[in-house]
């Protein structure tokens, strides 16, 4: 069943992709192949392989329980949040919080997780920011 759903999503994706490809504005100085042809071919391959999943699905994979799926989605949300918070809150603080969260959710106790988060964050900052001079995000306190 899962493969069939993948197939349906794949066909939808392929259709969307091909539709978007036909919308690519053709500029006046087009080459013989043009910017649309290749994406359309790719869309067709994507669609055909998806149809194959619908016809011949693999055995059902082992899905995570609802709780664990939520766990993964929540972690993804935290990582999205991290991406946006990084330039605002600065590298050290946001990274420590994110690493602490991940460590906690992966099974560390709250204190262990806090220590791990702080160590990872400061360690990376020292290595990449101070030693190697990468421009990491500067927060209100400059780090």
Partner 1 sequence: MSLRRLLVLALPLAFATATLSDRASAFEPSSTECIAPANPGGGWDFTCRQVGKTMQDLGFIPGTMKVTNLAGGSGGVAFAEVVNKRNDDNNLIVAASSATSSRLAQGAYPGGDMGQVRWLASVGADYGIIAVAKDSKFNTLPELFDAIKADPSSIAVSGGSAVGGWDHLKVLIAAKRAGIDKLRQIKYVAFEGGGEAVTQLLAGSVQAFSGDASEAKGFVDSGDIKVLAVLAPERLPGDFSKFPTAKEQGIDAVGANWRGFYAPGGMSDEAYDWWVETIGKTYKSDEWKKTMASNGLAPLDLQGEDFEKFVAESVAEIKELSQEIGIIK
Partner 2 sequence: MDALSSLADGFAVALTFQNLLLALLGCFLGTIFGALPGLGPSNGVAILIPLAFTLGLPATPALILLTSVYYGAMYGGRISSILLNIPGDEPALMTTLDGYPMAQQGKAGEALALSGIASFVGSFFATWGLVFLAPQLVKVALLFGPAEYFALFTLAFATLGGIASRNQAKAAFSAALGVGIAMIGVDAQTGVPRFAFGEVHLYDGIDFLVAIVGLFAVSEVFIFLEHRGEEAHAEGASKLVNRVTAPLSMLRKTAGTMGRSTVLGFLAGVLPGAGASLGSFIAYSVEKRVSDRKGTFGKGDPRGVAAPEAGNNAAAGGALVPMLALGVPGSGTTAVLLAMLLALNITPGPLLFQSNPDVVWGLIAALFIGNIILLIMNIPLVSLFVRVLLVPPKYLMPAVAMIAFVGVYGISGSTFDLVVMVLFGLSGWLLRKLDVPLVPVILGVLLGGQMEVNLRRELTISNGDWSALVDSWLSITLWGLAIVGFILPIIVGSFFRTNVGKGRSRESDDPD
In angstroms, the Cα distances linking 32 to 18, 35, 99 are: 19, 9, 51
> With respect to partner 2, which residue has the nearer C-beta, 23 or 141?
23
Q: Which parts of 37-66 interact with partner 2 (CB under 8 A)?
A: 38-39, 42-43, 45-46, 48-50, 52-53, 56, 58-59, 61-64
> With respect to partner 1, which residue has the nearer C-beta, 56 or 138?
138
In angstroms, the Cα distances linking 50 to 53, 60, 94 are: 5, 16, 40
> With respect to partner 2, which residue has the nearer C-beta, 12 or 71?
71
Per CB under 8 A, 17 contacts partner 2? yes
User: 99: helix, coil or strand?
Assistant: helix
Per CB under 8 A, 135 contacts partner 1? yes
In angstroms, the Cα distances linking 120 to 53, 95, 115, 123, 126 are: 42, 8, 9, 5, 10
Q: Which residues of this protein are in contact with partner 1, per CB under 8 A?
A: 27-29, 135
């Amino acid at each position: 069943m899962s493969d069939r759903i993948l197939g349906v999503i794949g066909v939808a994706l392929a259709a969307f992709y091909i539709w978007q490809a036909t919308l690519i504005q053709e500029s006046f100085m087009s080459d013989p192949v043009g910017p649309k042809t290749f994406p359309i071919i790719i869309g067709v391959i994507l669609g055909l392989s998806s149809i194959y999943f619908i016809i011949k699905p693999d055995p059902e994979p082992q899905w995570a329980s609802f709780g664990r799926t939520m766990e993964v989605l929540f972690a993804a949300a935290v990582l999205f949040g991290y991406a946006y918070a990084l330039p605002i809150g600065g590298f050290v603080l946001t990274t420590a919080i994110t690493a602490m969260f991940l460590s906690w959710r992966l099974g560390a106790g709250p204190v262990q997780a806090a220590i791990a988060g702080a160590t990872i964050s400061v360690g990376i900052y020292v290595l990449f920011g101070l030693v190697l001079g990468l421009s990491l995000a500067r927060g209100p306190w400059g780090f």
